[in-house]
Amino acid sequence: MRDKEKPFILTRGPLGSFNITPRNAQGWRLMLAWIALSLPIMGAFALFSESQHSDRMFAAGLVGFLVAMGVWTIGGIMWMKARAEVVDIEKLLREKREMERKRRR
């Protein structure tokens, strides 16, 4: 996928931090579609938690919900990273500092 066609921008920051942002209308649609995929997980947990009167069963359902949301989150990050143009802030800052040093000479 060429960079001009990529629907997301991934900005890398210090210490391995990153931020994924929709780049265009297609990116917003894809992100909303991904968020919509979490609704069945949340709805199932809501229905399950309403019907459970046992603390032990509720705790098991909560663990299942948290695992499912963790898998959903990691999957979303990997999916968006594969469709994102990467901008490395630290690299840009290093290049800017080098250019400023060259200008001073």
Q: What is the mean pLDDT of residues 20-47?
A: 93
Instruction: For residue range 42-95, list pLDDT tens digits in order.
Output: 999 999 988 878 889 999 999 999 999 999 999 999 999 999 998 888 888 888
24-33 long-range CB contacts below 8 Å, 24 or more apart? 30/80, 30/83, 31/80
Secondary structure E strands in 45-96: 84-88
Residue 105 has pLDDT above 80, yes or no: no
pLDDT at 79: 93
Which residues, 6+ apart, have CB-to-CB distance to 13 below 8 Å?
19, 89, 90
Contacts of 26 (CB under 8 A, 6+ apart): 7
pLDDT score recorded for residue 2: 61
